[in-house]
């Protein structure tokens, strides 16, 4: 990675990393809307885009195209940031070990810990709105949305938020103050991770998960454990929704 001169502030690069990541979300969302518009036009979807935008449980194709669009956007922004050498390369970070299976328990434990933490507030079904929005209208394609949420989302989100933003911000700030770099990068990347989901009630829980996943990457020096933890976290939500939809609980 190219080193900045000692008297150069690292903050412009931190800002650049943030803006490019945000731009990736915007571009990805626009691409998803284009795909949805094509499908709406081709299938003559009743109510068109206006109805789709207000549905609490949109059809599977709307969820799938939205995920694909966002993944393309954040994937592209991650590649751009690394190529600009604003963040360290991702080489070797995705390698997994058999011992990483323990991180399944980390993700499952985090899901239950957050549920317990929210319990005293008696928010009820309000907390389930985002999950129902993703899985509620999947129907026979629930398996597809499940795979995308369990495998795809953790991969792309961990690459961007932990692999690029967390490591990039930490690397830039370490050039001036190593003691400040790690805690700031951890909190900053977790905050962006939480805000990127656009869910106010879930914000504290998502921020906590972001802190946990950032620590996992810091502790292991790899992304694979964080991806596994993230995947098992999402799996719990998917399993619960699947059982609810089939009247099991």
Q: Could you report the per-residue pLDDT of 16-45, keeping only the tens digit for each?
A: 999 999 999 999 999 999 999 999 999 999
Banded pLDDT at 48 (limits 50, 70, 90): very high
Question: Worst-scoring range by mean pLDDT, 42-56, 124-138, 147-161, 166-180?
Answer: 124-138
Relative orientation angle of helices 203-220 and 103-118, to the nearest 10 degrees = 160
Beta carbons of 146 and 242 less than 8 angstroms apart: yes
Predicted confidence at residue 243, as pLDDT, reads 77
pLDDT at residue 187 tops 60 = yes
The yes-or-no verdict on residue 12 having pLDDT over 50 is yes
Q: Provide the pLDDT for residue 7.
A: 57
**Region 51-66: what's the mean pLDDT?**
94
d(CA 245, CA 132): 10
Is the pLDDT score of 1 beyond 70? no
Instruction: Give the pLDDT mean for 60-79.
Output: 97
- pTM, entire model: 0.93
Residue 5 has pLDDT above 70, yes or no: no
Average pLDDT, rounded, for the chain: 92
State how far the Cα of 115 lies from the Cα of 205, in Å rounded to an integer: 9
The confidence band for 207, taking pLDDT boundaries of 50, 70 and 90, is very high
* Separation between Cα atoms, residue 115 and residue 23, nearest integer Å: 32
Q: Are 162 and 189 in contact (CB under 8 A)?
A: yes
What's the first-to-final CA gap in the chain, in angstroms? 52
Kindly tell me if the per-residue pLDDT of 179 is higher than 70.
Answer: yes
Task: State pLDDT tens for residues 94-137.
Answer: 999 999 999 999 999 999 999 999 999 888 778 888 888 899 88
**What CA–CA distance (Å, rounded) separates 145 from 132?**
12
pLDDT of residue 4: 43
**pLDDT score at 178:** 87
Percent of the chain with pLDDT over 70: 95
pLDDT surpasses 60 at 247 = no
């Amino acid at each position: 990675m190219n080193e900045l001169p000692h008297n150069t502030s690292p903050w412009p690069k931190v800002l650049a990393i943030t803006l490019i990541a945000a731009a990736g979300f915007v571009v990805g969302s626009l691409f998803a809307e284009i795909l949805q518009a094509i499908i709406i036009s081709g299938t003559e979807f009743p109510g068109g885009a206006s109805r789709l935008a207000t549905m609490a449980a949109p059809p599977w194709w709307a969820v799938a195209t939205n995920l694909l669009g966002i993944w393309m956007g954040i994937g592209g922004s991650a590649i751009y940031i690394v190529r600009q050498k604003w963040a360290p390369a991702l080489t070797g970070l995705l390698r997994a070990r058999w011992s990483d299976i323990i991180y399944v328990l980390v993700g499952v434990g985090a899901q239950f810990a957050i549920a317990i933490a929210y319990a005293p507030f008696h928010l009820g079904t309000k907390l389930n709105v985002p999950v129902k929005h993703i899985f509620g209208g999947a129907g026979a394609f629930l398996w597809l949305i499940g795979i995308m949420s369990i495998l795809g989302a953790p991969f792309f989100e961990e690459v961007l938020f932990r692999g690029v933003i967390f490591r990039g911000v930490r690397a830039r700030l370490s050039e001036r103050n190593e003691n400040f770099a790690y805690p700031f990068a951890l909190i900053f990347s977790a905050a962006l991770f939480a805000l990127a989901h656009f869910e106010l009630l879930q914000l504290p829980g998502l921020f906590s998960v972001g802190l946990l996943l950032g620590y996992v990457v810091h502790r292991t020096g790899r992304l694979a454990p964080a991806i596994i933890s993230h995947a098992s976290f999402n799996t719990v939500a998917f399993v619960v929704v699947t059982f609810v939809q089939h009247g099991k609980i």
